[in-house]
Structure 1
Amino acid sequence: MESPFKSDILHGKVALITGGGSGIGFEISTQYGKHGASVAIMGRRKAVLDSAVSALQSLGIPAVGFEGDVRKQEDAKRVVESTVKHFGRLDILVNAAAGNFLVSAEDLSPNGFRTVMDIDTVGTFTMCHEALNYLKKGGKGRSSSNGGMILNISATLHYTAAWYQIHVSAAKAAVDALARNLALEWGADYDIRVNGIAPGPISDTPGMSKLVPDEIESKAREYMPLYKLGDKWDIAMAALYLASDAGKYVNGATLVVDGGLWLSRPRHLSKEAVKQLSRAVEKRSRDAPVGVPKRSKL
Structure 2
Amino acid sequence: MELDFSQRNVFIAGGSSGINLGIAHAFAARGARVALLSRSAEKLGVAATELARYGGEVLALPADVRDVDSVRAALAEAHRHWGPIDVLVSGAAGNFLAPATGMSENGFRTVIEIDLMGTFHVLRNAYGFLRKPGASVINISASQAFNPTLFQAHVCAAKAGVDMLTQVLAMEWGPEGIRVNSIVPGPIADTEGMRRLAPEPEALAAVVDQVPLRRLGTVEDVGHMALVLSSPLASYVTGTVVKVDGGNALRGSRDYREAVQSPVSLAKES
> How would you bin the TM-score normalised by the shorter chain?
0.7 to 0.9
Q: Distance in 2 between matches of 1:37 and 1:221?
A: 33
Q: Which residue of 2 aligns with 1:143?
A: none
Q: Distance in 1 between matches of 2:27 and 2:208?
A: 33
Picking from 10, 14, 26, the partner of 1:15 is: 10
Q: TM-score, normalised by structure 2?
A: 0.88
Do the aligned partners of residues 36 and 119 (structure 1) sit closer, same or farther apart at CA in structure 2, a change above 3 Å counting? Answer: same
Q: Distance in 2 between matches of 1:47 and 1:230?
A: 27
Alpha-carbon offset, residue 90 of structure 1: 1.2
> Is 2:40 the counterpart of 1:45?
yes
Alpha-carbon offset, residue 160 of structure 1: 2.4
Alpha-carbon offset, residue 88 of structure 1: 2.4
Q: Distance in 2 between matches of 1:225 and 1:176?
A: 23
Picking from 154, 159, 171, the partner of 1:167 is: 154
The secondary structure found in structure 2 opposite 1:116 is: helix
Q: Which amino acid aligns with 1:78?
A: A
Alpha-carbon offset, residue 234 of structure 1: 0.4
Q: Which residue of 1 aligns with 2:261?
A: none
Write out aligned runs for 1:97-246 (5 A).
97-135=92-130, 137=132, 146-188=133-175, 190-214=176-200, 216-220=203-207, 224=210, 226=212, 228-246=215-233
The secondary structure found in structure 2 opposite 1:84 is: helix
The secondary structure found in structure 2 opposite 1:195 is: strand
Could you list the runs of 5+ residues in structure 2 that have no partner in the other structure?
253-270
Q: Which amino acid aligns with 1:254?
A: V
**CA deviation string 1:251-288 (max 9, x = no partner):** 000100111111127xxxxxxxxxxxxxxxxxxxxxxx
Give identity over the alignment, percent. Answer: 39
- Give the aligned length: 251
**CA deviation string 1:190-239 (max 9, x = no partner):** 221000100001011122123343364343467x3626311111000000
Q: Which residue of 2 aligns with 1:87?
A: 82
Mean Cα displacement is larger for which, 93-102 or 209-218? 209-218
Alpha-carbon offset, residue 7 of structure 1: 4.9
Q: Distance in 2 between matches of 1:66 and 1:245?
A: 28
Could you list the runs of 5+ residues in structure 1 that have no partner in the other structure?
138-145, 266-298
Q: Which amino acid aligns with 1:164?
A: F
Q: Distance in 1 between matches of 2:164 and 2:238?
A: 13
Q: TM-score, normalised by structure 1?
A: 0.80
Alpha-carbon offset, residue 11 of structure 1: 2.1
Alpha-carbon offset, residue 84 of structure 1: 0.7
Q: Which residue of 2 aligns with 1:74?
A: 69
Q: Which amino acid aligns with 1:170?
A: A
